[in-house]
Amino acid sequence: MRLDTLALAGMLGLAVPGIVEVVAQRPAIAQARPLGSFRDSQWDVSLFMDRGQYYYRGQARGSRDYLQLRDVEFAGTNDRRVYRWYNANYTYQVVWRPTDPNFIRLQVFENNVELLNRLLERY
- pLDDT tens-digit readout, 36-79: 999 999 999 999 999 999 999 999 999 999 999 999 999 999 99
- Confidence check: pLDDT of 114 > 70: yes
Query: Does an H or E element contain 13, and which?
Result: helix 3-23
Q: What is the model's pTM? A: 0.74
Separation of alpha carbons 91 and 111, rounded Å: 8
Q: What is the pLDDT of residue 31?
A: 67
Q: What is the pLDDT of residue 32?
A: 83
Q: How does the average pLDDT of the chain come out, rounded? A: 85
- Confidence check: pLDDT of 116 > 90: yes
